[in-house]
Amino acid sequence: NVNLLFKLYCLAVMTLVAAAYTVALRYTRTSDGELYFSTTAVCITEVIKLLLSVGILARETGNLGRFKASLRENVLGSPKELMKLSVPSLVYAVQNNMAFLALSNLDAAVYQVTYQLKIPCTALCTVLMLNRTLSKLQWISVFMLCGGVTLVQWKPAQATKVVVEQNPLLGFGAIAIAVLCSGFAGVYFEKVLKSSDTSLWVRNIQMYLSGIVVTLVGVYLSDGAEIKEKGFFFGYTYYVWFVILLASVGGLYTSIVVKYTDNIMKGFSAAAAIVLSTIASVMLFGLQITLTFALGTLLVCVSIYLYGLPRQDTTSIQQGETDSKERVIGV
């Protein structure tokens, strides 16, 4: 089945990009010297994603005239659609900045596992915003996930080779905000994508245009004075640019996965990314895995697998109530 293979391919690429992004970002945070401005990195990521989406749309239309007409009709001539897509842009901007803050105060593996709290948050948003229902097993897996994350936070793993001043309380607070933003923005964007036949790349362009404006505001509110003094690209290295590229590619693949599967399916890639980033952290940073941490990670992976087991069609937006004969639990 070509369609199934395509979905699996997208999920596999998204998994590898997520793991590499986490490890690479952690490395930039432990390099010698002053740190770059994370707010500018988020802004540049939006610009790259916009340019990539424009290029893909141009190739998709196959004709310069149709390409210009598409931009004129769906971007320049649709201020309401731009406003609609500015909502996830704003929320994603907050999420990305909180993720940078969290990762600078948490170990890579702890960050990756804790960030899976976005799964129950996404589940709740899916039920409330898309009129879907979840099976008993899916809800059990949600609580199992919370238990796994609790074990991870109860006794975090310690890094032995790299010593960085961190504030775990600040890190967990930032990741909590990022989780809430991730759940809402992901489901909102899925609803917009699947509520019309508008091209995925047109929707991406609409969202990234708004995202650039939002992140530029964040840049100068957070680091405006320092940027004027030191420059927009202060502290950038090849590793920083590599992280930005990974974030850009990951963002595009995330939109593809949401379009052709759903936010729940992203849980599969999240489980694999946990394993990969943990292994990489052990090899690169001398991370010591405790029994509690290992059990929590295992519980998280199992819960994500159970949550993603096919119980119903979740790839299209349901209108109204589902069949009353189905044994499901609604919220």
Measured in degrees and rounded to the nearest 5, phi and psi for residue 311 equal -120, -25
CA atoms within 13 A of residue 279's CA, in its CB half-sphere: 9
Highest average pLDDT, of 53-57, 64-68, 71-75, 100-104, comes from: 53-57
CA–CA gap between residue 168 and residue 158 (Å, rounded)? 12
Estimate the crossing angle of helix 200-230 against helix 168-194, to 10 degrees.
150
Max CA-CA distance within the chain?
65
Ranking 102-116, 146-160, 213-227, 260-274 by mean pLDDT, the lowest is: 146-160
Q: What six digits make up the tokens of 38?
A: 């994370």
How remote is the C-alpha of 119 from its chain's centroid? Answer: 11
pLDDT at res. 52: 92
Q: Averaged over 134-139, what is the pLDDT?
A: 82
- Percent of the chain at pLDDT above 70? 67
Task: Give the CA-trace dihedral at 48, 43, 86, 131, to 10 degrees.
Answer: 80
Q: What is the mean pLDDT of residues 288-297?
A: 76
Q: Average pLDDT, stretch 67-82?
A: 82
Out of 104-118, 119-133, 180-194, 270-284, least confident range: 270-284
Mean pLDDT over residues 159-186, rounded? 78
Q: 16 falls in which pLDDT band (50, 70, 90)? A: low
Contact status, residue 315 vs residue 262, Cβ threshold 8 Å: yes
Helix (H, G, I), strand (E, B) or coil at 89: helix
**Average pLDDT in the 274-303 region?**
73
User: What average pLDDT does the segment 200-224 reach?
Assistant: 86
- Residue 4 confidence class, pLDDT cut points 50, 70, 90: low
Round to whole Å and give the CA distance between 309 and 191.
22
| Residue from 77, 97, 87 nearest 211 by CA | 87
